[in-house]
């Protein structure tokens, strides 16, 4: 999977289909976690950790 730096992500505009792409990505990650044997509790924990990372980045002023 390719990643972008925080700076390049913040300077780019999202294409109109980006919302759909993000939903597809979320569904894929969810399915992968479920098929790997993770419980709902594990998935909620993963989601919380992801939100904490985004929140911390925004608080530190590094976010878009």
Q: Which two tokens stand for residue 3?
A: 């990643």
In the prediction, which pLDDT does 2 show? 47
For the entire predicted model, the pTM comes to 0.63
Q: Write down the number of H helices and E strands in the chain.
A: 3, 0
In the prediction, which pLDDT does 61 show? 83
Average pLDDT on 44-53 reads 96
7-26 pLDDT per residue, tens: 445 445 666 679 999 999 99
- The Cα 16–Cα 1 span in angstroms is 21
In the prediction, which pLDDT does 17 show? 77
């Amino acid at each position: 999977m390719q990643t972008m730096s925080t700076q390049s992500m913040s300077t780019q505009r999202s294409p109109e289909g980006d919302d759909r792409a993000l939903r597809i990505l979320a569904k894929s990650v969810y399915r992968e976690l479920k098929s790997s044997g993770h419980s709902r509790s594990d998935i909620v924990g993963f989601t919380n950790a992801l939100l904490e990372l985004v929140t911390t980045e925004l608080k530190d002023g590094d976010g878009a």
